[in-house]
Structures are given as structure tokens and as C-alpha cells.
């Protein structure tokens, strides 16, 4: 793993995700090395190829300093009505956060500033529990964990170095018990492995058990740069499974899986964020 400290030019950036105003990405790269990750394109900023995703992390060591400077300039009225997201192209709680504490530092800067908007978190790591004390101090906060299966073996295969999905469910339970609003990001829907009725029902049932009712669901993004890396990394699996990955980008397939999802959401009384199963190419 290559670790290289860098200095960013800005840290509080406008976000293109609908409903989110700003994003903070404290790191370039991600050590979790998920096979399907769309953020692998970020390597171009530091001279890395898509295939190298997961082999480097560049901490933005001036992130907290920059945020303290940018908050008064970019957020009027203490950010009332605005949402800041951690993070869109990295995991804010990957292992290196233990050492650099950039995510925690940025959260502390927001509290010091008196931020009155919403802080939203998305991670695959139970390290997020470290910052429970800070989450409790925000007026509006939402913490999400990605869960693509209930099977630790599947999560380990596709999300190579991320904490086991069982730890993520446990983290959601702890957050809920501490009255922190939570959500689950079920994405991407993995053909053959989790995009099946029985598997989806296991996920939904488990979420209810741990106290999470808000869910965000996304179809697999098979943009060319993702597809080339993903197919190369799963080349050892059965060809029929690989074909399912190709088929998953078709509209017919998406409709078929959505016909399974919506009744299950109703059955378990879950709340679907954005009121739709997201397909990246059409989401704006």
C-alpha cells in the first residue's frame, strides 16, 4: 500500500449528488479495494490507473485547516438547510483514519463552526463508532453503512479489505441504540450474489433487526472503466455468473429486480430514500 501525504487546494466542494450540497473527501484513494468501486477513476488525479485502485491512499493532510478557512466563506447562516456528505469518492473511515484522523478533525471543525445543517456519513467501516461522541453533538446527522449482503464471505470477496458486513450490521445497531439516525446503502446490487429475492429478504430482515429502516438502493454501475476492472478481477468465477453481470445493465433486468424489491420494502416497512432504485446513468 502506497501512502503519500498531499495538500489539497480545497476540501469543501459542491456535490453533484441530488439533495446534497457539499462533499468532503479527506483522502484520495481507498484501501478497501472493492472490486466494483466507481471511484477508481479518481486515480487520474494522482497518476494512477484504474487497475491500481486499492493500492494507494493519499491523505489530504491540510483538510482540517482548509475546512476552517472555507466554512465562513461558503456557508451562510451556519449552513441552515445545507447537507455536507462524507464521502463520495473515498471511505472516510478506512484504516488510515486511525492515524490521520482527518474525518474526525473535519467533524470537530464543523462543530466548532456551529454548523446547523445536516452531516451525512457513508462508510463500510465500524470505525465510524469511534465518533459517536461527535455525532451526538450535531443538530442533524445521518450515518449510513454499505451492506451488499448478509454473508461475510461475499463481502470479503467483493470488498476485499473492508470490515466484514457482520461488523457493519453491528455498527448500525450500536448507532441506533445511541439514537443516531441511520440508513443502509444497498449498492451496488450484485447479480447472482445478492440481487435475488431470498438474499434481498435476508438483508431487509437484518436491517429491521438492527433498527435501520431508511435504505438507499443502487443498481450496479457498469461503466466501461468499472466493467473492465470488475470482469478482470472476477474472471475465475463461472462464466454464467459473469454473463449475469453483463445482463444487469439492461433495462429489462432492472425492472425485473425492482419488481422484487418494492414488495419487500412494503413487507418490512422500510423507507426508500429518493423513492427509487437508483441507476447511476439516469440519476440526476
pTM of the predicted model, to two decimals?
0.92
Short-list 279, 275, 242, CA closest to 257: 279
How many domains does the chain contain in total?
1
Q: What is the CATH classification number for the domain harbouring 33?
A: 3.20.20.70
Going by C-beta distance under 8 Å and a sequence separation of 6 or more, which residues neighbour residue 46? 4, 6, 28, 29, 56, 58
- What pairs with residue 3 in β-bridges? 57
| Enclosing domain of residue 226 | 2-282
Q: What is the mean pLDDT of residues 68-77?
A: 96
Answer yes or no: are the C-beta atoms of 271 and 215 closer than 8 Å: yes
Q: Give the mean pLDDT of the chain.
A: 92
The per-residue pLDDT for range 82-121, each reduced to its tens digit, is 999 999 999 999 999 999 999 999 999 999 999 999 999 9
Amino acid at each position: 500500500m502506497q501512502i503519500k501525504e498531499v495538500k489539497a487546494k480545497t476540501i469543501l466542494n459542491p456535490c453533484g449528488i441530488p439533495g446534497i450540497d457539499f462533499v468532503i473527501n479527506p483522502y484520495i484513494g481507498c484501501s478497501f479495494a472493492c472490486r466494483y468501486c466507481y471511484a477508481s477513476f479518481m486515480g487520474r488525479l494522482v497518476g494512477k490507473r484504474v487497475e491500481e485502485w486499492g493500492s494507494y491512499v493519499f491523505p489530504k493532510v491540510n483538510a482540517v485547516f482548509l475546512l476552517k478557512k472555507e466554512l465562513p466563506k461558503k456557508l451562510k447562516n451556519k449552513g441552515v438547510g445545507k447537507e455536507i456528505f462524507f464521502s463520495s469518492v473515498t471511505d472516510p473511515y478506512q484504516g488510515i483514519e486511525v492515524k490521520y484522523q482527518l474525518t474526525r478533525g473535519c467533524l470537530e471543525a464543523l462543530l466548532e463552526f456551529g454548523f446547523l445543517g445536516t452531516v451525512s456519513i457513508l462508510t463500510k467501516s465500524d470505525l465510524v463508532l469511534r465518533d459517536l461522541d461527535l455525532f451526538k453533538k450535531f443538530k442533524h446527522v445521518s450515518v449510513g453503512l454499505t451492506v451488499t449482503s448478509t454473508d461475510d464471505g461475499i463481502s470479503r470477496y467483493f470488498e476485499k479489505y473492508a470490515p466484514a458486513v457482520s461488523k457493519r450490521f453491528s455498527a448500525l445497531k450500536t448507532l441506533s441504540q445511541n439514537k443516531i439516525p441511520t440508513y443502509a446503502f444497498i449498492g451496488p446490487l450484485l447479480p447472482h450474489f445478492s440481487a435475488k429475492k431470498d438474499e434481498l429478504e435476508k438483508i431487509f430482515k437484518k436491517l429491521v433487526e438492527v433498527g435501520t429502516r431508511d435504505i438507499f438502493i443502487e443498481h450496479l454501475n457498469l461503466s466501461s472503466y468499472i466493467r473492465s476492472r470488475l470482469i478482470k478481477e472476477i474472471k475465475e468465477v463461472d462464466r454464467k455468473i459473469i454473463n449475469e453481470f453483463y445482463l444487469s445493465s439492461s433495462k429489462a433486468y432492472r425492472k425485473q429486480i425492482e419488481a422484487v424489491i418494492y414488495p419487500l420494502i412494503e413487507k418490512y416497512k422500510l423507507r426508500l430514500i429518493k423513492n427509487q432504485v437508483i441507476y447511476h446513468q439516469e440519476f440526476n
